[in-house]
Amino acid sequence: MLTILVAGSIFFPGLFLLSKRCLKHAPGLRWSEGDAVIVSARLVSSIQAIMASTAGYIIATSCEDIIEDQHWLTSSYILFAVPYFVYDIYAMFMCYWYKLQVKGHEDKSNPRALSVAFTSYLRREFLMVLHHVVMVTVCFPVSVFWRQGRGDYFQGVMFLAEVSTPSVCLGKILIQYKQQHTLLHKVNGCVMLVTFFICRVLLFPYLYYAYGRYASIPLYMVPFSVPWQCNLGAALLMAPQVYWFSLICRGAFRLFAGSSRSRAAPPAVKAGSAGHAPLSPPANGYSPRESERETDTH
């Protein structure tokens, strides 16, 4: 157990540092420190998501009895991934810190500025930080010890929630570099919307449905047939997913509504060309303030 925890503690921060170094020093790239940090953090999140999704698929497809069947990969990957959530709190703060520096309002050498930035980060990303803390302090012991080796199928299906993370990370990178007007951003947004809804929002109703089929009881009876801790845990884990999905839907609406307004702009420009230089709408469909409100979900 300790060996796997140590391996995860080395792998994720090590991958982050290696990626950052490559982006900063590779010939033809030589990115700035801030750009390298932001992209490296997204890259590590995407790799962790691919690993978790792969593990989840292997586990779920290997368990015929969804309650009693066990797979060695279940507890092993949980132990390996726990350090990721600790590391990611730090990585998210570093991304936030460098975004502040890009705006030119923070001095990296000033300890007070760093403290103020960290407090601001905790306020802004409170839900995400809380989610990561709960994953380590609650979900980890529950998944490894409280289950007592039962329900590996359900744990594997929950790993599949990470399927949406790579598209979320790519969307963040495209927003960071003002590429919201591109076709790639629109296609990625559609993929993110669909995968997030299926793999995160519908995930918990599906788990109840799967148990109902296993126990041969109607879906509406499942909440009354499982331990209350399961209902509480599912509710607490699903609530932020629904909230984040609502933010994704609002962002998608602004993006495509903004694109429609941009396409309708030329006639107005022609009508106002007799003396005043018209104000062109933002190409990405967002106002600058809206672009800064991106929500980290992974």
* pLDDT, tens digit (0-9, with 9 covering 90-100), for 213-270: 999 999 999 999 998 989 998 999 999 999 999 988 988 788 777 666 666 655 444 4
* Per-residue pLDDT reduced to its tens digit, 2-52: 899 999 999 999 999 999 999 988 887 778 888 899 999 999 999 999 999
pTM: 0.81
Q: pLDDT averaged over the chain?
A: 84
* Per-residue pLDDT reduced to its tens digit, 279-288: 333 333 333 3
Under a CB-based contact definition with an 8 Å cutoff, are residues 298 and 169 in contact? yes
What letter does residue 202 receive in the DSSP assignment? S
Pairwise CA distance, residues 19 & 158, whole Å: 28
Distances (CA, A) of 262 to 188, 272, 273, 291, 294: 20, 16, 17, 17, 22
Radius of gyration of the chain (CA): 22
Pairwise CA distance, residues 40 & 125, whole Å: 19
Distances (CA, A) of 86 to 10, 25, 75, 134: 12, 27, 18, 11
Report the b/e string of 82-108 with b at 16+ CB within 10 A: bbbbbbbbebbbbbbbbbbbeeeebee
